[in-house]
Structure 1
Amino acid sequence: MEQDGSLFQELITQTCRLEEGIMYLNPNGKQRTPVTKWKCKAAIPSSDSKSSMEICPCYLLTVRVIRARNIHQADVLSQTDCYVSLWLPTASPDRFQTKAIQNCKDPVWNETFYFRIQSQVKNLLELALYDKDVVTQDDHLFTVYFDIAKLSLGEQVFMHFKCNSQRQEELEVGFALENISGPPETIITNGVLVSRKICCLEVRVVEKKKNKKEKKSVSKKEFSFKVQGSYEGTQDIMLGSDLVFSSSSPAKFHYARYKHPTLDVTLPGKKPAPSFGKGFDLYAKAEDCPDHLDVRLGFDLCVQEQDFLCKRKKYVTPALKKVLQLEQDLLDHETPVVAIMTTGGGMRSLTALYGSLRGLKKLNILDCATYLTGLSGTTWTMSNLYRDAEWSQKDLDKQISEARKHMTKCKANSFSLEYMKYYKKQLCQRRREGRKTSFIDLWGLVLESLLHDGKDNHRLSDQQRAIDRGQNPLPIYTAVNVKNNYSTLDFKEWVEFTPYEVGFQKYGAFVRTEDFGSEFFMGRLMKKVPESRICFLEGMWGSLFSLNVLYIWNSSHSSEDFWHKWTRDKINNIEEEPLLPVKLHELRTRLFTPPGPLGSALRSILTDRLCIAQDHNFLKGFQLHNDYLENKHFCRWKDTVLDTFPNQLTQSEELLPLVDTGFFINTSIMPLLKPERKVDVILHLNYSAGSQILPLDQTCKYCSEQGIPFPRVDLSEEDRKKLKEGYLFDGAETPGAPVLLFFPLINDTFQKYKAPGQKRSESEMEDGEVDLYGSCSPYSTYSLQYTEKAYDRLVQLGEYNILNNEDLIMQALHTAVAQKRRLKGQCTQKGTMLALTLRKQTDPA
């Protein structure tokens, strides 16, 4: 049949529903030879015991937007022209809306919308009321958040949402939840995140053969295909006059099978029909993707870390026996897990950590440690150390000398024209790889030149070589995930980096370190991007430039409460009629009132960050489980204002904005408080500027609010005014808390002693004058260069403060061993009593 322009125009707006199987479409949009097939699978446990594959039903949700009452006048000259927008992102990527009712404060719509929802997903429907404007942007009046979990299957309810009691504003909506035909859906979940069934659609276009007499067209035809909500989004296919689009290179789309997927086809521009010849055939084929995930869903330690722990014990157990001077070997259950935790502080923390580690090495404590964590400047030290696969088995003199060379060299060369060209070339290379670059990437390259000779090809995954036999502590680097338009106190999520994995403790989601920065969708690796050189991670871990106005205010005034009315969303619980029976896991119905132009502008000024690192989000596409707020793992880290707004959490973002952990709390302790790591002793090495006790106080407050076992830090006013070199908090009053050793960076007895028990001579007194925090101190957090004398003195101070507190460290280790033995004894006693009780119950005598 001859293809005419009207049929082409008809297909431009034609939408094709995607089902499993194969369908062939003519240009007029009529379907030919549909093939549909259903498969049902039994529940299969995944390889991770904390995640599982489940078969769960889908339901049909009917939403009828009925009417609104007493809507306040948004325009000066007329009543509102109201319409309602519906958004349920767990069911459809599209936003739907009613028609606009002109000039009416009591609009009536009576429009019905249908959604297919997954029963095990947290489905939060957003009903937004707008006033339509022709000239300016539509006014957003309010949004109602309604949890579909409130509804009962098979029932129909009509809800009256009281949006403003003073003005008696009300929105009336009807809901019905019913079973839906078809098989259930197979999902993979860890109780917090849900990965749903993914399909791959292949689309190809075949140009119909022309008659021999017909002249060949020299024009090219471009087809545009779009699957809203798919990983690919939109793709174009270009055909020449004689080209038949090859089946070997179709356009592909990966999408969630049950989220109302549609294929939108836009044909070549409006041209006369003869230029298109006899038309085209469109072939579409959809197939299920494998259920295997490339994102690990689970809260257990990864297999590689578990294997490392077994190997590390072969170093730790004999080392503990030696330093504690024990007569007998420690049993497995008696061996405490010891961790070294550091804080940030720019080059000051980089330098002082070298000294602390050398002190621990001289006390043979380094072989007793299982973990070493860092942030900001201490990550620069760690990444240098782990280039050497045997670093903790050596005296560290070589590493300290190498760092000294770079800390004292002139930094002007790092900003030379030659280096600028190198930076530009490297940033262009990252963009070609598919990364979004920022000033933080440039800062990482500057750090590379400051701390190394030439290009450094080291990558984080390369550090696996330094822990493959358990010969060094496992390094953990930390960052926080933030969100645009929110202060760090309102939204932050801990992210940990090891040579094995990068992931969120809060969501129980991890990817291989080699894959961090690659593109993922619903847990599947879609586009592999080469692993970043570690300098780019160092730039992000120590991103001194990712601050905002609120952070500066908070740093100087110790509170940002004054600004909360400007930077927090105005959200209130609202009344609704009728009162539905309270369901487990349901969220309260809430009302969001958008700020005015002044409030929005001020919020942007206060919360926007100067620059930020952004990597592809490996949580993209996941959805939250219906019970996620009750999951004990999620609750442990649930502390953001958006935790009860599942549509706005991290899985909905394209990119991860990651910043230095110091922009929340200057500590790298959080990975060590993960219960699965079972850390017994933490050596808290503090290198902060200003108050030495502040990061520890903030950690205590955070852990108390989150219900995380942590020792109570009980310091007298006298101690707070004049800190000692070391403190021991045994955590006896807090069950499950680790033993904490706290080492502030202070210059106390070092002024008079060059080594423990060795007083300085008159000629050596000058070497003890280390001005750490004075106005003329060379150790400012933003200082990039030290003199040789300043560098040596800071290293010596860090080492001395460790060596001078040997007894305190030994006391902590003895305490931990005693606690382990006592805990084992209690477990054995309980087991014996239980066995005796069972014997009495089963013994007739």
Structure 2
Amino acid sequence: MDVVIRHDLCDDERDYVQKRLQIVCDCLLSHGIDCKPDEVPRVALLGSGGGERAFISILSVLRQLGEDNLLDCFLYLAGVSGSTWAMSSLYAEPHWSENAVDTTSKVLRSLSKGEGVTFSDGVQWLMGRHKEGDLSLSDAWGVITCGIKGVSLETRTFSDEASRDQDGADPYPLYSAMERTYFDEKEMEELWFEFSPHEAGFTEHGAFVKTSLLKQEFEGGRVKYSPNRKPMDMVQLQGITGCVFGDVKEIEQHILDWIKSHLPWSQDQAAPLTGVLQIVMALVELVEYKHDMDYCHTALVRLKSNLGAVCGKLSPTLHDLDYETWTGMEDRKRKQHVKNVFGELIASADEWGQEWKDLNNKLTDALWVIKHILPLVYEWEVGNVPSFLYHFNDPRVPEEMCKRHTLHLIDAGLFLNSPYPSVLREAREVDIIVSFDFTEKEPFKTLEGAKDYADANHIPFPKIDVNEHERVCPKSFYVFEEEGKPTVIHIPLFNVKNCKVTSPDEATIKQEWDEYDTFRWTYRDKEKIGHLVDLAAANVNRDDILKEIRKAAERRKAKH
């Protein structure tokens, strides 16, 4: 059986953890904390979501931890959304944490330079994903993410890290996602999905497969190998875990902007539109304004007029469109009418786009994107992965989870913007959670969400108590602890310390949030990046972190 149901750790993670604990033990000794290997406190570092703001901030935190010789105190590094962008780049370098300052600085330099994946390279990668099957918008988003970071396509497979780094030199990485079907339809509780180099699966139900098998087809708990399906690479993983925006319209618009920026009219908007471009423009408009039926009707009327005699051949539905028919339709039928025209024009793309296909250049790539990616935006197909639970039969897994052929994995930040569920797994025995929170403008929302999650799943979690003033003017370092529960260190990004707030007025903190809004696109200004780097680095309170680790070590010793 290739699907396993268990709540303990796989053998490979246990082996890695044992090697990593020895490195943690040596690091603690360098800070005057002397403990035996079985007394070493297990400390997890969490990076929240927050788009490019989180990406820059977690890099700064990791660089500062490296400078302070604290990075090897951590057993796990877990991320959500924007923080996973940083993780995917850092772990490209074996033993990156041994030289964390240089490694993180290199990634930050790539961001400011803005170089990286070309449109052609991105389309070629997407074509490969299309041949494998299950192409979705998450794949396009993974390509765009590499462009945001200013790097070439990160095509190494995630499971490669399992065989490459077995000496425990770096914190064990954990990525997180959510299963969209259940999250949207509320058929059951939200389902947390975690990825490690060795295993991937549903945290609450303990249903896992080897990460290297994740994209294969399954039937009844057994894999059905397909030579066309490669293991998940970091482009696809980033597309799933790092789709930063909580607003579907924001994601949709950025993907549309990416497509439009590589069409001919983006270079010369004054040039007359050819027949091909008129159809392409109409298709983009039908997606961009699909909820505005009046706008869609105007676009269709214009297109029908321009297409003339070829209209019926390319789209019978468009050919039959007239004003009386349209005005007599209910809104539901209008939407279906627009959808039908869209589908017919996409289906006839090889015919009307022949002149682009013959050119064999950038326009060929653009036509492929119009034909294969634009429909995904229209239908909002995201995070498609074959379900390893398809027709799986085990009473420990709800039957509903085993009925669907495809999983739809999305950014976990849409539910909980920090990867608490993964490090709260009992088998990981985490003593201290150090959470750097980059969540926008609500410094305790994620922390309190984690408390609610823990309570709902009967997981030990300390009581959270903050006053109303701190919700707008948070301190730089919070410790929440209760006997028999993991200690939670909560560190808000903008706070009274690094923003130098000396009065009850929160205007200074609000100003920083406004400057580094999640939807600002894209950071290239070195001064702007540097300022955020400095603010995030100031949150690494070395002495306070070591104080809590020392207390955890004493608690472990007392148990022995």
Q: Tell me if TM exceeds 0.5.
A: yes
For residues 751 and 662 of structure 1, do their structure 2 counterparts lie closer, same or farther at Cα, with a shift above 3 Å needed?
closer
Per the TM alignment, residue 724 of structure 1 is displaced from its structure 2 partner at its CA by 0.6
Paired with 1:492 and 1:773, the residues of 2 have a C-alpha distance of 29
Alpha-carbon distance in 1 for matches of 2:510, 2:69: 27
Kept in 1, the 8 Å contact 2:473–2:496? The answer is no
Q: CA deviation at 1:621?
A: 1.3
What residue in structure 1 maps to residue 167 of structure 2? Answer: 469
* 1:218-265 alpha-carbon deviations (Å, 9 max, x no partner): xxxxxxxxxxxxxxxxxxxxxxxxxxxxxxxxxxxxxxxxxxxxxxxx
Q: Does 361-370 or 655-664 show the bigger shift?
A: 361-370
Matched, 1:296 2:34: no
- Aligned residue among 86, 89, 94 for 1:381: 86
* Residue in structure 1 matched with residue 156 of structure 2 by the alignment: 458
1:461·1:499 contact (CA, 8 Å) conserved in 2?
A: yes
3-state SS of 2:547 partner = helix
Q: Give the structure-1-normalised TM-score.
A: 0.48
Cα distance 1:339–1:613, how it changes in 2: closer, same or farther (>3 A)? same
CA deviation after TM superposition for structure 1 residue 459, in Å: 1.6
Code of the aligned partner of 2:205: Y
In the alignment, is the contact (CA less than 8 A) between 2:84 and 2:175 conserved in 1?
yes
- The letter for the 2-side match of 1:810 is L
Could you tell me which residue of structure 1 aligns to residue 260 of structure 2? none
Structure 1 residues 531, 719: closer, same or farther in 2, change over 3 A? Answer: same
What is the one-letter code of the residue matched to 1:297?
A: I
Match of 1:731 in 2: 482
Query: Which structure has the higher relative contact order (CA within 8 Å, separation 6+)?
Result: 2
Confirm or deny that 1:407 pairs with 2:136: no
RMSD of the TM alignment (CA)?
Answer: 3.0
Report the counterpart of residue 198 of structure 2 in structure 1.
500
In 2, Cα distance between equivalents of 1:598 and 1:334: 66
List per-residue Cα deviations over 1:651-679 (Å, max 9, x = no partner): 11100010000111111111111111100
CA apart distance, 1:405: 3.1
Query: Any conservation in 2 of the 1:545–1:610 contact (CA below 8 Å)?
Result: no
Specify whether residues 691 and 652 from structure 1 end up closer, same or farther in structure 2 by C-alpha distance, changes over 3 A only. Answer: same
Deviating runs (4+, > 4 A) in structure 1?
Answer: 487-491, 545-549, 768-771
**Number of the residue aligned with 2:127:** 428
Q: Distance in 2 between matches of 1:315 and 1:669?
A: 24
Residue type of the partner of 1:322? S
2:176–2:193 contact (8 Å) kept in structure 1: yes
TM-score (norm 2): 0.71
For residues 187 and 496 of structure 2, what CA distance do their matches in structure 1 show?
34
Q: Matched residues in 2 for 1:354 and 1:808: separation?
A: 20
Residue 554 (structure 1) aligns with: none
Instruction: State the alpha-carbon separation in 1 of the partners of residues 177 and 187 from structure 2.
Output: 14
Secondary structure in 1 matching 2:385: strand
Task: Identify which of 528, 534, 539 aligns with 1:796.
Answer: 534
Q: Would the aligned equivalents of 1:770 and 1:794 in 2 still touch at CA under 8 Å?
A: no
Whole-Å Cα distance in 2 between the matches of residues 301 and 485 of structure 1?
Answer: 26
Aligned to 1:540: 240
| Equivalence map 1:660-739=2 (5 Å) | 660-732=411-483, 735=484, 737-739=485-487
Cα distance in 2 for residues equivalent to 1:730 and 1:545: 32
**Alignment check: 8 A CA contact 1:479 1:660 kept:** yes
Distance 1:491 1:300 in 2: 22
Structure 1 counterpart SS, 2:75: strand
The C-alpha deviation readout for 1:624-649, integer Å capped at 9, x for no partner, is 31xx4xxxxx8xxxxxxxxxxx44x2
Choose which of 473, 478, 494 in structure 2 pairs with 1:746: 494
In the alignment, structure 1 residue 316 sits paired with structure 2 residue 54: no
2:4 counterpart letter in structure 1? R
Change beyond 3 A, Cα 1:399–1:614: same
Q: How does 1:543-554 map to 2 (within 5 A)?
A: 543-544=243-244, 547=247
Deviations 1:406-449 (A, max 9, x none): 322358x96xxxx444433322222222x211222111112223
Q: Kindly provide the amino acid, as one letter, of the partner of residue 793 in structure 1.
A: H
Find the aligned partners of 2:187 and 2:544 in 1 and give their Cα distance.
Answer: 35
The structure where strand makes up a greater share of residues is: 1
Q: Tell whether the 8 Å contact from 2:3 to 2:209 is kept in structure 1 after alignment.
A: yes
Q: Which amino acid aligns with 1:427?
A: L
Contact 1:363/1:806 (<8 A) preserved: yes
Number of corresponding residues:
431
Contact 1:389–1:467 under 8 Å retained in 2: yes
Please, which of 513, 538, 542 is the counterpart of residue 773 of structure 1?
513
Counterpart of 2:393 in structure 1: which amino acid?
A: Q
Q: 1:442, 1:467 → 2: CA distance?
A: 29
Q: What is the alpha-carbon distance in structure 1 between the residues aligned to residue 241 and residue 109 of structure 2?
A: 23
Deviation of 1:609 (Å): 8.2
What is the DSSP-based 3-state SS (H/G/I as helix, E as strand, rest coil) of the residue aligned with 1:691? coil
Q: Which runs of 5+ in 1 are unaligned?
A: 1-292, 552-596, 600-607, 629-633, 635-645, 754-767, 825-845
The structure that is helix-richer by fraction is 2
Instruction: Give the drift of 1:355.
Output: 1.1
Residue 516, structure 1, aligned to residue 185, structure 2: no
Alignment check: 8 A CA contact 1:681 1:740 kept: yes
Distance 1:609 1:815, change over 3 A: farther
Residues 352 and 798 of structure 1 are in contact (CA less than 8 Å); yes or no, is this contact kept in structure 2?
yes
> Which of 75, 82, 86 is the equivalent residue of 1:370?
75
CA distance, structure 2, for counterparts of residue 410 and residue 333 of structure 1: 46
Contact 2:203 2:421 in 1 (8 A): no
Q: Which runs of 5+ in 2 are unaligned?
A: 252-329, 333-377, 502-507
Per-residue deviation, 1:728: 0.9
Instruction: State the SS of the aligned residue for 2:194.
Output: strand
Q: Secondary structure at the match of 1:819?
A: helix
| 1:227-246 alignment, distance < 5 Å | none
